[in-house]
Amino acid sequence: MRIQRRHAIALAFAAAVGAFPAAAQTWPARVITIVVSYPAGGDTDAVARLFAEKLSARVGQSVVIDNRVGASGTIGNAFVGKAAPDGYTLLLTPGTFASAPVVLKSGTGAAYDAVNGFTPIVQTGNVPLFLVASPQSGFTSLKDVVAAAKAKKQLVYGSPGTGSPMHFVGEMLNKAAGTAITHSPYRGVAPSVNDVLGNHIPLAWVPLGPVMPHIAAGKLVPLAVALPQRSALLPNVPSLAELGYRDIDPMSWQGLLGPKGMSPDVVKALNTHFNEILKMPDVVAKLATFGTVSVGGEPARLAQANAEAHTKYARLVKDFGIQAD
């Protein structure tokens, strides 16, 4: 029985190896590094560590996280862009990867070609953005907000910073609704959320993860989600499209990329692994706690999302005169 068991395990391993192209069968031979361009403890970092654990178990090698922070994420992004394209240095990034090069003033951060300078591997998720209000504001719907703004009430919305997707969506809504709600930039999501909780500002655009406990406790009121349709994460919250604002989409994706010129075989192996990881029930559930919807798909899906976001953000920077230091 032991011999038969060993034979069965050997056949299963051989079948698994045979599922990948020849070049990928020698990869990985050493530690894989996933670079995160944001501090440890944040949502992107937490998601990366979840993926690292799952990928390590599948490939039989250690997968470590390297937090390379600064210049709105461009330092870590540029580091990966210059790394050897051998499949051992990867980048897990939110969609700000596409916007940062066009938002930052030249010379303030590390430069990189967001569209042509990297190898797309897989779109790991979408991160819907929600407009939330303080209960003390009295706002229970986006209609209330627009009416107050048009009645010349001085309103402010918070975002994690100038040039963030939340800033873009706030200004797109202002243009579409004919309002002039003032943008108040913060240094991250948490400070903006804290000021809404304290009723220092009435509104903020945020990802769902950091505010879900406050919504559940009734300390924040979700008014709308910046999507063409409702989000499965909060299905009772209307989308901007159904409220009449149809062309507002901040394209807040999350994805895995590598340096330009990676072996197609290694890309295929990584893409296959991640598509399986993204289907795991515990991964789907954990991503939801970070306000992320599992996506997956072929590398071309991420390439398209990234290129479209880059083009859109470049146009919006000119339209709204947005520029970050």
**Residue 18 pLDDT greater than 80, yes or no:** no
The pLDDT, as a whole number, for residue 304 is: 97
- Read off the pTM: 0.88
Domain 133-225: state its class: alpha beta
Same fold, 2-127+253-320 and 133-225: yes
Q: 2-127+253-320 in CATH: which number? A: 3.40.190.150
Q: What is the distance between the alpha carbons of residues 9 and 4, in angstroms, rounded to a whole number?
A: 9
Q: Are 268 and 21 in contact (CB under 8 A)?
A: yes
Q: What is the distance between the alpha carbons of residues 253 and 21, in angstroms, rounded to a whole number?
A: 28
pLDDT band with cut points at 50, 70 and 90 for residue 57 = very high
* Residue in this structure with the two tokens 């779109």, named with its chain if needed: 123
pLDDT tens sequence across 150-209: 999 999 999 999 999 999 999 999 999 999 999 999 988 999 999 999 999 999 999 999
Residues 6+ apart with CB under 8 A from 191: none
Q: Are 28 and 87 in contact (CB under 8 A)?
A: yes
The pLDDT, as a whole number, for residue 324 is: 80
**Residue 17 pLDDT greater than 70, yes or no:** no
pLDDT tens sequence across 77-93: 999 999 999 999 999 99
Q: What is the distance between the alpha carbons of residues 304 and 239, in angstroms, rounded to a whole number?
A: 23
**Residue 3 pLDDT greater than 60, yes or no:** no
Report the half-sphere exposure of 173 (CA within 13 A, side-chain side). Answer: 30
Q: What is the distance between the alpha carbons of residues 28 and 25, in angstroms, rounded to a whole number?
A: 8
The pLDDT, as a whole number, for residue 249 is: 87
**Residue 1 pLDDT greater than 90, yes or no:** no
pLDDT tens sequence across 200-251: 999 999 999 999 999 999 999 999 999 999 999 999 999 999 999 998 988 8
319 phi/psi in degrees, rounded to 5: -60, -40
Domains of the chain, by residue range, sit at 2-127+253-320, 133-225
Report the half-sphere exposure of 5 (CA within 13 A, side-chain side). Answer: 2
